[in-house]
Amino acid sequence: MVIMGFVSFKKQLVAILAVVLLFPYGLQAQFGFRDESEQKVAGEVSKIGQTLYNIDKYYLDTINFPNMTEEIVKMIIEKLDPHSAYISAKDVAAMNEPLVGNFNGIGVEFALINDTLTIQATVPGGPSEKVGIKAGDKIIAVDGETISGTNLTIERVHGYLRGPKGSKVAVSVLRRGEPELLDFVITRDKIPLNSVDASYELEPGYVYVKLSRFAATSYQEIMKAILAIDGPRKGIVLDLRGNGGGYLVAALQIANEFLGKGELLLYTEGRKVQRMSEYANGRGLLQNTPVVVLIDENSASASEIVSGALQDWDRGIIIGRRSFGKGLVQQQFNLLDGSQLRLTIARYHTPSGRVIQSPYEQGKAEDYYKAFYERYAKGETFSRDSIQLPDSLKYRTLRLGRTVYGGGGIMPDIFIPADTSHYTPFYGEIVRKGLITDFINSYVDNNRAQLARKYKSAEELEKSFVVTDKFFNEFLAYCKEKGVEPKENEIEISGPELKKYLKGFVLRNLFDFNSYLRYLNRDDREILKALEVLKEPAAI
């Protein structure tokens, strides 16, 4: 493959393109093209090179060649499948960060309250905790530059606080009870990005694990969470709802834990890629532990690999709604200027042979995603009967011979419709504008010390904290101030759900996400059904 980079274009173009791209036969000799297809590609590369060369040499006006090249590459990728992608050099780090599982920074969770960077929590053992930064502190200045009240954005905050490992950043902090700003010098370090959002026992022996993405550290995180539970493991609820995927190897590692030696995990094959099969190695620690996997319409890719493998081997029960349907494998190619291509090179198949990928046409990504959103309009989110799949997509599971389907996502064994009984336009606008988050951030910021004295643990807060009418009316007044007011009956419909989330966000803000999710999950229908199935398998 010939990869072109245009850094200092005028110097490189004449020196490289004129010599290489203008002479495709030179390319053949240099790179040893083996077949007619590769020779044709070399000719097309030469054509692009000639065009750019002649523009540079003869065109009337000055051209921004790096921008032109970016547009050419984007246009080419847009003609492919919906999941191939081009990532510019400046976006590579941000795109890879959630999957790599760490970044270099100061180790804080923050919120922007009244245009001020306010610390919500510090990472235990992280750089900020080590120097004495506390929840509730407000960072007013960074390296002598006042940042409070300057129309702060999250992107700007990242620019101030992130940087190379070992580099130092000076911050000036406003702390309640202190008459003057406090100055700290923080040494940046590697900060982990966990992919396990929450893990705890639903009941003694029944472990719940919420995985948000399949990152480089996901397998280790999941096993650590499960093995940390004392006593016998009676069952596992693996929550993959909203998990859009990630690294294939993480999915294979996790599925391997549940399956026996020699059992097929998946196989992949493509036009230029030979069939590759992956098998369980038989060393999994969870082979005899009952498991339920939760999925929904936003579970995709690696989530479908895990749920598909467990379903095909009749190893676990899948509960929820039909998953997204992304069964394409991407490989990453680094370009000379630091940008990347993520090209689809193969389709994956579940152990029974199912193709999970939803139908698509090359170059029509918009139609592909439109078809996904039309599932909602057709009632698929609310009724299993609205999902019509032809007999040609039927497959059989490998132990019990149960019917499963390919051709567009994983169909759950137990369908649970989406609950929208609390939804109103008022509720939707509150969520879209993040008003619950903003209101609770300010509330906890103003009352942190008092709340911390009153509630020593998340369990105590969950048991005793009440969203009173006064508190709720203050929230409604805040919403009105922000231009969002309920219409007739909307409070009656949405009020209980809003009160639940107000309390949940206090938990999250004062303690952690695990406490928040544990509270919300107490009346979650999918989780309650999963626990029922684990305790009484006949419940299916």
CATH number, domain of 409, equals 3.90.226.10
Stated as kind and residue range, the H or E segment containing 168 is: strand 168-174
Asked, for residue 388, whether it belongs to a domain, the answer is yes
38 and 128 together in one domain: no
- Written as one letter, the residue type at 214 is F
Asked, for residue 453, whether it belongs to a domain, the answer is yes
161 and 206 together in one domain: no
Asked, for residue 87, whether it belongs to a domain, the answer is no
179 and 317 together in one domain: no
CA distance 355 to 348: 7
129 and 225 together in one domain: no
For residue 99, the model assigns a pLDDT of 66
- The b-or-e profile of 87-100 (16+ CB within 10 A means b, else e) is bbbeebeeeeeebe
For residue 22, the model assigns a pLDDT of 40
Active site members = 301, 312, 326
For residue 234, the model assigns a pLDDT of 95
Task: Answer whether 0.85 is exceeded by the pTM.
Answer: no
End residue of a domain, out of 418, 452, 477:
418
146 and 177 together in one domain: yes
Quote the number of domains for the chain. Answer: 4
Unique residue bearing structure tokens 């190379």: 164
Beta-bridged to residue 183, according to DSSP, are: 172
280 and 264 together in one domain: yes
Asked, for residue 538, whether it belongs to a domain, the answer is no
363 and 219 together in one domain: yes
End residue of a domain, out of 398, 418, 438:
418
**What is the pLDDT tens value at each position of the chain, 540 positions in all?**
322 333 333 444 444 444 444 444 444 444 455 667 777 888 888 888 888 889 988 989 988 888 888 888 989 999 999 889 898 888 887 777 666 666 789 988 888 888 899 988 887 778 998 888 988 889 999 999 999 999 999 889 988 998 888 999 999 999 887 889 999 999 999 887 789 999 999 999 999 999 999 998 999 999 999 999 888 899 999 999 999 998 899 999 999 999 999 999 999 999 888 899 999 999 999 999 999 999 999 999 999 999 999 999 999 999 999 999 999 988 889 988 889 998 999 999 999 999 999 888 898 888 888 888 788 778 888 878 777 777 778 999 999 999 998 888 999 999 999 999 999 999 999 988 889 988 998 999 899 989 999 999 999 999 999 999 999 999 999 999 999 999 989 999 999 999 999 999 999 989 988 999 999 999 999 999 999 999 986 544
Helix (H, G, I), strand (E, B), or coil: what is residue 202? Answer: strand
Asked, for residue 126, whether it belongs to a domain, the answer is yes
167 and 200 together in one domain: no
Asked, for residue 537, whether it belongs to a domain, the answer is no
268 and 353 together in one domain: yes
End residue of a domain, out of 418, 444, 463:
418
302 and 323 together in one domain: yes
140 and 202 together in one domain: no
DSSP 18: I
The phi and psi torsions of 423 (rounded to 5 degrees) equal: -80, 135
Angle at 458 between CA 456 and CA 462, to 5 degrees: 110
51 and 127 together in one domain: no
Asked, for residue 115, whether it belongs to a domain, the answer is yes
For residue 139, what is the domain's CATH number? 2.30.42.10
Cα–Cα distance list, 41 to 90, 128, 522 (Å): 28, 53, 58
Stated as kind and residue range, the H or E segment containing 219 is: helix 218-227
Residue range(s) defining the domain that contains residue 333: 196-418
Asked, for residue 89, whether it belongs to a domain, the answer is no
